[in-house]
Amino acid sequence: MERARILIIDDDENTRSSLLTVLEEEGYEVDVASSGYEAVAKSEMSSYDLAFIDPCLPDMDGTRLLSEMRETVPGMARIIMTGCPSLGDVIDAVNQGVDSYMVKPFRVDDLLLTIEKSLKKQREAKRYSEETVKDYIETRFREAAVIG
């Protein structure tokens, strides 16, 4: 199976470095961005399976970043990780369709479990989508054969 590609978006160097180390040791292919604009630029040039997003970046608020990331990589799982949670942020995240919301600091076990759940959900959605397209094509083919 292909290694999942993860983008870590956080303006804190220690957070980026720690997550990078842990995730690479777990076998993930990891990239980092220290700002929202850098994350958007990277997502326009590469495809990621999952992104960890700190919504409190100095150059772009989380809602805008989530929206822009959805446009550049629509199927990517998105996990908010914040050290300053608020009810408003949670509501914004849910409205933007995030896959999970984690409060810093978090345990490595919880982080890895959240990643696996998000990637599994993503794989299942992709498989369902592929099966739906296949069924549609087969049905149309049979209908065309009956008509023709």
The pLDDT, as a whole number, for residue 31 is 97
Q: How large is the average pLDDT for residues 3-17?
A: 95
Residue 79 near residue 98, CB atoms below 8 Å: yes
Examine the pLDDT at 132 and tell me if it is beyond 90.
no
Give the count of alpha carbons within 13 A of 103, CB side only.
6
Q: Check residue 18 and give its pLDDT.
A: 96
- Of residues 24 and 129, the one with the higher pLDDT is 24
Reported confidence tier of residue 24, pLDDT bands at 50, 70, 90: very high
CATH number of 5-123: 3.40.50.2300
According to the model, what pLDDT value does residue 148 have?
Answer: 62
Percent of the chain whose predicted confidence (pLDDT) is above 90: 50
